[in-house]
Amino acid sequence: MANFLEIQTITKYFNIVNGQVKALENINFEVASGELICLLGPSGCGKTTLLRIIAGLEKQESGQILLNGQAIDASGPERGMIFQEPRLFPWLTVEENVEFGIKGRYGKKLLQTIVQELLEIVGLAKFAKAWPSQLSGGMAQRAAIARALAADPLILLLDEPFAALDAQTRTKLQTDFLSLWQSTHKTCIHVTHDIDEALILGQRIIVMHSSPGRIKKIIPIPFPYPRCPDDPDFITLKKELRDSFYLNIVKLGL
């Protein structure tokens, strides 16, 4: 199952006031089943747009996406999306939010078991009856992860899910997310602008460039999990990535 997900020659334009801007140019890569990939790039490089195209929330101008050899062009429950904001429905309790995507698919009892299990996995079992407005940012994002997992998707698409959290909460959620991935072995595409995060999580890092958004390089990360950010090899790689980031920014004159 080498070519579980194939991104082929994706190009995307955005309409602006006077004309068009190329957001993505000729994006090509493949994702193996069970792989955890990080899309890393500065803001404006089109990484979120690319993720949204994979999720079916945006349409590309050319190119195609193949999932198990089948072209996809709309969103579907086999791709679970986790946004930067939790985006919980404020009128539903935590458990009702989690069962949002699978309501009616299973009987009431089974549904309850699934939701309870998921809430336990993300550490929110005691907050099943809480309203989203009662949750802290980290807990709300946990609930959003449980909601995405409920539909049992083949792929999890994560759009900077931890970027809005404070440093401690982020580290905790990264660790929990890693163990979640290791136990479920879902294929994950994780968008981030945080070099550390990409290095802690990714089996491979796809580094992106801006104007127009394109892939600069794809780096396999050889370190075993859990990764230690103080490891010399880790730091070397981090420096390398950072330099290429800054070089890019200097070149753009930002």
Residues at the site binding another protein, with contacts judged by CB under 8 A: 55-57, 74-77, 79-81, 83, 85, 87, 89-93, 100-101, 123-124, 126-127, 129-136, 138-139, 142, 151, 169, 172-173, 176
- Minimum gap (Å) between residue 104 Cβ and another protein: 9
Nearer to another protein, 139 or 207 (CB): 139
Shortest spacing between CB 133 and another protein, in angstroms: 5
Question: What is the dihedral angle through the alpha carbons of 193, 199, 204, 208, rounded to the nearest 10 degrees?
Answer: 30
Closest separation between CB of residue 217 and another protein, Å?
Answer: 30
CA dihedral defined by 170, 173, 174, 179, rounded to 10 degrees?
170
Sign of CA dihedral 73, 76, 79, 80: positive
Nearer to another protein, 42 or 56 (CB): 56
Compare residues 181 and 245 and give the one whose CB is closer to another protein. Answer: 181
Q: What's the closest the beta carbon of residue 91 comes to another protein, in angstroms?
A: 4
Nearest distance from residue 40's CB to another protein, in Å?
23
Based on CB atoms, which residue is closest to another protein, 172 or 216?
172
- Cα-Cα end-to-end distance for the chain: 42
Tell me how far, at minimum, the Cβ of 82 lies from another protein, in Å: 10
Closer residue to another protein, CB minimum distance, 79 or 214: 79
Report which of 127, 138, 55, 75 is spatially closest to residue 98, judged by C-alpha positions. 127
Residue 27 near residue 6 (C-beta atoms within 8 A): no
For residue 64, CA distances in Å to 6, 45, 79, 183, 219 come to: 8, 19, 16, 30, 23
Long-range residue pairs from 69-72, CB within 8 A, at least 24 positions apart, any chain: 69/3
Cα 217 to Cα 215: distance, rounded to the nearest angstrom: 6
- Round to whole Å and give the CA distance between 228 and 155: 26
User: Which CB atom, from 17 or from 74, has the smaller least distance to another protein?
Assistant: 74
**Integer Cα distance of 187 and 191 in angstroms:** 13
Whichever of 8 and 175 has its CB closer to another protein, that residue is: 175
Residue 219 Cβ vs another protein, minimum distance, rounded to whole Å: 29
